[in-house]
Amino acid sequence: MLKTPTIGESLRNEGISRREFIKFCATAASLMALPATMIPKIAEALSNTPRQSVIWLSFQECTGCTEALTRAHAPSLENLIFNTISLDYHHTLQAASGTAAEEAREQAMHKHPGEYLLVVDGSIPIGNPGYSTIAGISNQDMFLEVAKQAKAVIAVGTCAAFGGLPKAAPNPTGAVAVQDLLRDKPLVNVPGCPPIPVVISSIVAHYITFGGLPDLDNLKRPLPFFGQNIHDRCYRRPFYERGQFAETFDDEGAKQGWCLYKLGCKGPVTYNACALFKWNDAVSFPIEAGHGCLGCSEPNFWDAGSFYDALSIPLPGAAKAAAYAGIAGTAVGIAAGALNMYKKSTAIQQREVVTVDDLERK
Amino acid sequence: MDNYADFLLWVRGPAFHIALAIFLFGILLRFFEIFSLGRRTEYAEVRGNAFLGGMRTLFTRFLPEKTTLKRILFLVIAGYLFHLGFFITFLFFDPHIVLFKSALGFSWPGLPAPIINIVTLISLLVMIALLIYRLNHPVLRLLSGFQDYLAWTITFLPLLTGYLAFHHMIHPYPLILALHILSVELLMILFPFTKLMHTFTFIIARWTTGARAAQKGVSL
Ligand code: SF4
Ligand code: SF4
């Protein structure tokens, strides 16, 4: 039987130097807020471990997550991480198609039962199995089958983590998140639309090094990356404190780089690492580019009202509620008023007139 | 509702709509009731302008009369501080103004966050002092009923949760923000049916008192 090459071996075959490799380990350690003393441990674990088998399933998604991961600037951590795993099945990236592709998946599952990592992007429709199928297999069936033997599951992107856009009201396909179907398996959610690529690679590195997943928050997001909110890390925060806000996208405030709260920024309620790692090789991130945060790493961000409404504005429907209440209040008020007036007038009519003479007579 | 993000969406959406509906419904109902009762017929000879007298009293009552002032100086000062603080925070904190703008269509400039911060802190401390005063004053304590403590609590909570949210004192932030909004919704729901209605009715009450007296030739 052919021995699976270790990560170290395959990196050397790829012509990646020891120096670059250690640099990757150092970055991974710092990203996960691990002490520098862990770097040799990561390096050792990565170079001596056989490449981790990964099965990547894509369901109701837009391929943005995969795009984000593969379009990262080269040479990058992301490219390195592709060398540390053996991506045994990925709809979009694999060359094989049709039956051959499905065979590859079966093979990977049988070769490493209970050992492979399952990465999922996209939500799973349970409204009708026919809404999304691969090789005639419904998403739900395929997911449950592959998840059964997986060692851990990584839900990549907001669709897999929380349902995402496919779940937006009225949720026509009955889309659910991975965590709604998964029981008794370690799961980590890496939400984001798309998620930050380096987070995915760091989690894989963490998994290979320590054999487990990093600490998670209550939404099962890795704390090292989702522990802080955008607002707390935002360089526009001093403007927020001073009450200096851009009112439109092209006013003086916007040009001065003032806070985008009034233009709908959801940074205060969004936990993600954008403000820290940024995008496009750490060039910028939405708020820096002049657009408020959409809150894409939070559940239901797609149904949380307009992206351009400030956080303090209630969700749509207030005007309707007010109108109904106005009509009901007026109607009941008039009725109560009529009753009062009736009582008052009958009281006046039935009033017995008592004169001083009457009193003296008694 | 298994997480704080959904909780926040619920308080910003359905819960707010319900609270707003009850608030408006209650206020309309109370006003119809009050106005439909009408005023008692005035048989006395007309000796002055009722309207002007009412308007005058509306403003003169903002200051207590001298002897009363001496006796309850603390209550007057604390009362003013709290009311002003509450309304400054309510009306001049930028995120609140955005909300008013979306509802009313117009807006006004806000105050910098550090000022709102201090004003809120003062209001909170003054409210606590007022509660201690109420609990310790022999007469006031006997006069106070459940509704008074309820009114205090539902007014205090929005200030407290707002302060905690502003300083990110409770984690995660969406949770404390949601609690803040929820506390305001509680206030909105109970407002029309408690003494808090005095926010509006004090105008009617003062005007009526002043108008009646003025008509009889007495100026208050
Ligand atoms: S731009 Fe957004 S995240 Fe930044 S300070 Fe303003 S509200 Fe907060
Ligand atoms: S800034 Fe906000 S909306 Fe944009 S990617 Fe980051 S978390 Fe998502």
pLDDT tens column, B59-70? 998 888 888 888
What are the chain A neighbours of B110 within 8 Å (beta carbons)? 243
Task: State the nearest Cα–Cα gap between A258 and chain B, in angstroms.
Answer: 14
Q: Is A309 on the interface with B (CB under 8 A)?
A: yes
- Cβ of B113 and A240 within 8 Å? yes
pLDDT band at residue A74 using 50, 70 and 90 as cut-offs? very low
Q: Are residues A249 and A215 in the same domain?
A: no
pLDDT (tens digit, 9 = 90+) per residue, A168-219? 999 999 999 999 999 889 999 999 999 988 788 788 878 888 888 899 998 9
Q: Which of residues 13-32 of A touch B (CB under 8 A)?
A: none
Answer yes or no: do A349 and A221 share one domain.
Answer: no
Per cent of chain B over pLDDT 90 is: 74
- Mean pLDDT value across residues A307-332: 92
* Residue in A166, A276, A264 with CA at minimum distance from that of residue A228: A276
Question: DSSP assignment, residue A135?
Answer: T
Would you place residue B94 in the very low, low, confident or very high pLDDT band (cuts 50, 70, 90)? Answer: very high
Domain identity same for A264 and A123: no
Task: For chain B, give the percent of residues with pLDDT over 70.
Answer: 99
Between the CA of A291 and the centroid of ligand 1 the distance, in Å, is: 10
Atom from ligand 1 closest to the CA of residue A230: 3
Q: Is residue A6 part of a domain?
A: no
Same domain, A186 and A70: yes
Domains identified in chain A, total number = 3
Residues A176 and A215 in one domain: yes
Do the domain assignments include residue A236?
A: yes
Q: Residue A150 falls within a domain, yes or no?
A: yes
- Asked if A293 contacts A287 with a C-beta cutoff of 8 angstroms, the reply is yes
Nearest CA-CA distance, residue B13 and chain A, Å:
5
The pLDDT score that the predictor gives to residue A77 is 53
- Check residue A83 and give its pLDDT: 65
Same domain, A138 and A265: no
Query: What is the reported pLDDT for A352?
Result: 83
Last residue of a domain, one of A203, A226, A249: A226
- Which pLDDT does position A79 carry in this prediction? 63
Q: Indicate if A222 and A277 belong to the same structural domain.
A: no
Instruction: Say if residue A171 is in the same domain as residue A138.
Output: yes
The atom of ligand 1 lying closest to the CA of A275 is: 3
| Domain range enclosing A152 | 50-226
Regarding whether A247 and A338 lie in a shared domain, the answer is no
- Residue of B52, B112, B202 lying closest to A241 (CA atoms): B112
**Rounded-to-integer distance, Cα A119 and Cα A140, Å:** 14
Smallest CA–CA distance, residue A326 to chain B, in Å, is: 6
Q: Is A141 on the interface with B (CB under 8 A)?
A: no
A334 lies in some domain: yes
Same domain, A256 and A353: no
pTM exceeds 0.90: no
- CA nearest neighbour of A233 among A267, A271, A265, A275: A275
Q: How far is B108 from chain A (nearest CA, A)?
A: 13
pLDDT digits (tens, 9 = 90+) for A78-130: 565 666 677 777 777 777 777 778 888 888 888 888 888 899 999 999 988 88
Which chain B residues contact residue A306 at CB under 8 A?
A: none
- The answer to whether position A330 is within a domain reads yes
The answer to the question of residue A81 being in a domain is: yes
- The pLDDT value given to residue B205: 93
Chain A positions in Cβ-Cβ contact with residue B173 (cut-off 8 Å): 229, 231, 268-269
Measured between CA atoms, the residue of chain B closest to residue A300 is B6
Is the minimum distance from the CB of A270 to ligand 2 under 6 angstroms? yes
In this structure, the residue with its CA closest to atom 8 of ligand 1 is A231
Q: Is A151 in the pocket of ligand 1 (CB under 6 A)?
A: no
Ligand 1 neighbour A240 (Cβ under 6 A): yes
Average pLDDT, chain A: 87
Kindly state whether residues A70 and A128 are assigned to the same domain. yes
Instruction: Give yes or no: residues A85 and A200 share one domain.
Output: yes
pLDDT of residue A72: 61
- The per-residue pLDDT for range A219-252, each reduced to its tens digit, is 999 998 999 889 999 999 999 988 899 999 999 9
pLDDT, position B12? 94
Which chain B residues touch A317 with a CB distance below 8 Å?
A: 13-14, 17
Helix (H) or strand (E) holding A7: helix A7-13
Q: Which of A226, A258, A289 is the endpoint of a domain?
A: A226
Using the beta-carbon criterion (under 8 Å), do B37 and A318 form an inter-chain contact?
no
Q: Do B172 and A229 touch (CB under 8 A)?
A: yes
| CA distances for A62 relative to A140, A177, A192, angstroms | 18, 15, 13
CATH number where A90 lies: 3.40.50.700
Dig out the tokens for A163 from the structure: 């349902």
Residues 6+ apart with CB under 8 A from A354: none
User: In whole angstroms, how large is the CA radius of gyration of chain B?
Assistant: 20
Closest ligand 1 atom to residue A260 Cα is: 1
Q: Are B2 and B175 in contact (CB under 8 A)?
A: no
pLDDT value for B3: 78
**Residue A238 forms part of a structural domain:** yes
CB interface of A with B, residues 217-236, below 8 Å: 218-219, 229, 231-232
Residue A17 has pLDDT above 50, yes or no: yes
Mean pLDDT of all residues in A292-307: 93
The token pair that represents A156 in the structure block: 């990549």
pLDDT band at B152 (very low <50, low <70, confident <90, very high): very high
Q: What is the CATH number of the domain that holds A290?
A: 4.10.480.10
Give the integer Cα–Cα distance in Å for B55 and A18. Answer: 86
Helices and strands in chain B: count of H runs, count of E runs: 11, 0
Asked whether residue A35 is assigned to any structural domain, the reply reads: no
The bridge status of strand A187-190 relative to strand A175-176 is unpaired
10 Å CB burial of residue B142 (0-12, 13-18, 19+) is exposed
**Distance between CA A269 and CA A262 in Å, rounded?**
14
What local confidence, expressed as pLDDT, does residue A179 receive? Answer: 95
